[in-house]
Homo-oligomer: A and B are copies of this chain.
């Protein structure tokens, strides 16, 4: 328990002050305050001493230097039970500062609102973090408050403990304070790296905000939470049960794939973070039906992401099967009426979701692999037709669709497509031939398309066996990166079977 006799208040966010000031007054706590905060306190009719009167040093450099003063920092940093400290304090005519209430210049908000570099630089707080860090270090004697959200808890402490705070409370506030200063400087460092396009600095610091604690992780014996860089960029759930780790994971996969589809068109169905049906057809209902037809059994309990607004008609179709989540660019009123009947079905409106961050990270124990997203779009001009037979326009479009989709399928990936929709997806096999077989068996089981069937492979065919299986199953055009020592054999085979072969010259591994 430590009695609070004096407080230093210096705030950028000056809200919610009144009840706090009342409580401080009730406990006869002397208030030292700086600039704008002094004015507000005066306006609220509470007594306080301005920092410059306290230190006898006039603020200089447009406020850049006001609290960076030994009287302030000596008052905060001295150990109350250390006799030498006490003596030094007296000798210098300094006094204790027991409570530090400080929040910082709004750097993060500033970079969101302006790209004026000078204005941004001016919003790097120097004095604030110095006081907060000093108080947090000396939490054994000093209480540090860094957000107006903590006022209620502080008032509660003062009330319950007759003007004192508990050691536990001070320790907690100190821990949060270091989180704040680390977060603040991480935003600053990332801003500087950002303007110079430095992706991989020597020290990389990620700052994230807790969105929610999840019930558990991928499995019930794992704990988990969702964080976000920008708390204003939200997953907008408008109906249904709480989202789970696996829901989020699948939603993120689905959104990543959806992002790659043509504007406002196309449907993606995801199960176990792999697509099990994708269609880029322009007609929304057709695209939904095509995506579903690719593998209606796997779609059971899956997640659907629509690059369009859900109408009543589509909602009616969707209500026929069991889905965990529907993500869409809005829902018609009548669509909502239908879908809301399903209590557990989660509905996400993705209309306002913004995508900015282009790096993905992947951690294992001490290590983190960071890479840019596999979001480079490849088109006709990147590809080379190596077979005698050449694809017509629609075949080429389907080849491009299939190849751009295979980047989202776990390696080894084979995507069979027809009419801008997947009709067979083979994923996650260590052998490419196995992936071909899985994709073919799906195709034969469900859609069984008749003509213009194309296939894409995420990496090269090491042997002719995979491509042979595909051709035997009715595929008449194949796209693959090339690079095997057997490329020539493969070209010979496709020419013998009158099959189209395109080399993409880039691969799409995904693990």
Contact = CB atoms under 8 A, between A and B. Distances in A.
Interface in A328-383: 354-357, 359-374, 376
A510 to B, nearest CB: 7
Given A137-B124, A245-B371, A210 B219 contact: no
B213 A507 contact: no
Interface in A397-429: 410-412, 427-429
A429 B211 CA distance: 31
Contacts of A126: 73, 77, 130, 133-134, 137
A507 B178 CA distance: 38
A224 to B, nearest CB: 4
A450 interface: no
B203 A511 contact: no
DSSP majority for the A interface? mixed
Nearest to A225: B200
Given A213-B200, A363-B361, A246 B431 contact: no
B175 A189 contact: yes
Interface stretch (A28-36, A270-278, A467-475): A270-278
A95 interface: no
Interface string A245-283: 110110011011000000000000001111010000000
Given A185-B178, A205-B186, A363-B360, A60 B370 contact: no
Contact of A183 (B203, B213, B509): B203
Interface in A175-218: 175-176, 178-186, 188-189, 192-193, 196, 198-211, 213-214, 217-218
A297 interface: yes
Interface in A103-140: 121, 124, 126, 129-130, 133-134, 136-137, 140
Given A133-B185, A272-B411, 14 more contacts: A60-B85, A60-B92, A62-B85, A64-B77, A121-B140, A124-B133, A176-B202, A186-B186, A233-B366, A249-B369, A255-B365, A256-B365, A356-B365, A361-B361
Contacts of A181: 185, 189
A221 interface: yes
Interface residues of A, number: 135
Nearest to A217: B371
Given A61-B88, A274-B430, A207 B218 contact: no
A249 B328 CA distance: 33
Contact of A222 (B222, B255, B256, B374): B374
A152 to B, nearest CB: 15
Given A68-B68, A175-B192, A219-B508, A210 B201 contact: yes
A174 interface: yes
